[in-house]
Amino acid sequence: MDERGLLEEAAALGIRYVESVPGRAVAPSATIEELRATLDVPLTDEPVDAAQVIAELARDAEPGLAQMGSGRYFGFVIGGVLPVALAADWLTSAWDQNAGLAIPTPAATVIEEVAGRWLKELLGIPETASFALVTGCQVAHSTALAAARNHVLAQVGHDVERDGLAGAPPIRVIAGAKRHGTVDRALRFLGLGTGSVRVVPADGQGRMVVDALREELAREQGPTIVSAQLGEVNTGACDDLNAIADATSETGAWLHVDGAFGLWAAASPSYRHLAAGVERADSWATDAHKWLNVPYDNGIAFCAHPSAHREALGIRSAYLIHADPDAARDPVDWNPEHSRRARAITVYAALRALGRRGVADLVERCCANAQALAAGLAELPGCEVLNEVVLNQVLLRFEDDETTDRVVAAVQASGEAWMGGTVWNDRRAIRISVSNWQTSEADVERTLAAFAAARTNP
Ligand SMILES: Cc1ncc(COP(=O)(O)O)c(C=O)c1O
């Protein structure tokens, strides 16, 4: 098969898979052992025909795929893929640009400049903020907190980029008890360590208690980062950013916002109030692969202090062709990656196709479906919805841990829908995250029916 034939065959396989998703069981049908039996073949000395590789790859992998693009996949916080974003992703791979430098790849650079501007506009972030398109919110935290580390240490006369952390005063990181684990992980990467975290209690929904934050801020002086959150991973609860910004603004602390999915509330007139005060932060981390429904992997860091961002991430090498910063933006200066995928292309395509109204509709539809799921589930015997469904997350449990685990396992096994379990206040619970552009009322009904069947007949 020639190159065109191979690419057409791969595209046909991809299209066939996407079209088949609504009719497939949501959970994978093959076990890891079964997949090893087909995929774990000896590496041959001689080449294998490319068409055969692609055909067998699709045949052997598909049984082991979770249908994460399904409108009934509610696990973790997983966005589906908008058709326009998938199409743009295919072009991104075909173009295969190493999108670190503006001059060698001007198209990727301009697309990224525009995508960054649109994202700031939509998410309520000041237009003067710098940004970086990274692999996900985890790396967005690392990027933004590297800038924070630079800034708060520069304020006390320490150059962390030159001198590292040796001899630096300690940095205190104040964060809520229900912060996401990726914040701590970023602190480990940055050499601040999890021991730098001062934990502020959270309320019943997972929001940082602001009075406790004030007390913690008053307890010590010195370089401080406060990490707030829009969208607690179980409940969707959003911290009161205005109150947090009021508390931090006098202290010189850096305010970071983990808005992996919750920041997208700012794109909807109906949900924007949850992100009120967002423009007052110093840095923000979010994802495009969650609520914007572009393919993995795609996250974004923003920073209100471009010089700190650039000092923390920038690079100069004789063989690189650096653009005049007044003329063009070299992504490599803002990203932790050196070589990188042109991941702005899918964001550009998705935002252009949706427009402001389309992004708001996407957010609002997911939230409405979450409300409908919560209302339907609350009718089931023994079911308790544990959160105020303010956004796209529903947290529930049944009368005891065993029943809760049995019900979720039965729903997963039914193939009708997929969601995972968690622990909330020391008890087993079930998390539902509605983050997919195509979840429909019919998907909600099917999911409720699956729960009802699992409840009566686990
Ligand atoms: C609140 C929050 N922060 C950070 C993350 C990590 O995002 P990613 O997996 O894209 O790195 C998540 C993932 O669900 C999240 O919900």
Q: Which protein residues are within 6 Å of ligand 1, measured from CB?
A: 76-77, 136-138, 180, 182, 231, 233, 258, 260-261, 287, 299
Share of the chain above pLDDT 70, in %: 100
Confidence at 365, pLDDT banded by 50, 70, 90: very high
Kindly report the protein residue whose alpha carbon is nearest to atom 2 of ligand 1. 260
The share of the chain scoring above pLDDT 90, in percent, equals 99
Task: Name the residue of 68, 76, 135, 180 whose CB sits within 8 Å of the most ligand 1 atoms, as the mutation to test its pocket.
Answer: 180
Task: Compute, in angstroms, the gap from residue 285 CA to the centroid of ligand 1.
Answer: 9
The arithmetic mean of pLDDT across residues 117-144, rounded, is 98
pLDDT of 288-345, one tens digit each?
999 999 999 999 999 999 999 999 999 999 999 999 999 999 999 999 999 999 999 9
pLDDT at residue number 458: 53
**Ligand 1, atom 14, residue with closest C-alpha:** 77
Query: What dihedral do alpha carbons 398, 403, 406, 409 form, nearest 10°?
Result: 10
Closest alpha carbon to 221 in 244, 188, 250, 186: 250
pLDDT of residue 457 exceeding 80, the answer is no
Q: What is the mean pLDDT of residues 342-360?
A: 98
CA of 182 to the centre of ligand 1 (A): 7
Mean pLDDT for 165-170 is 97
pLDDT 10s digits, 71-108:
999 999 999 999 999 999 999 999 999 999 999 999 99
| Residue 353 burial (C-beta neighbours within 10 Å; 0-12, 13-18, 19+) | middle
Place 207 in a pLDDT band, splitting at 50, 70 and 90: very high
* 168: nearest Cα among 208, 207, 218, 223: 223
Cβ neighbour number for residue 40 with a 10 Å cutoff: 8
Distance in Å, CA 26 to ligand 1 centroid: 22
User: Considering only CA atoms, which residue is closest to atom 12 of ligand 1?
Assistant: 260
Confidence class of residue 26 from pLDDT cuts 50, 70 and 90? very high
Neighbours of 407 (CB within 10 A): 24
Q: What whole-number distance in Å separates Cα of residue 366 and Cα of residue 363?
A: 5
User: CA–CA distance from 56 to each of 39, 48, 63 (Å)?
Assistant: 9, 11, 12
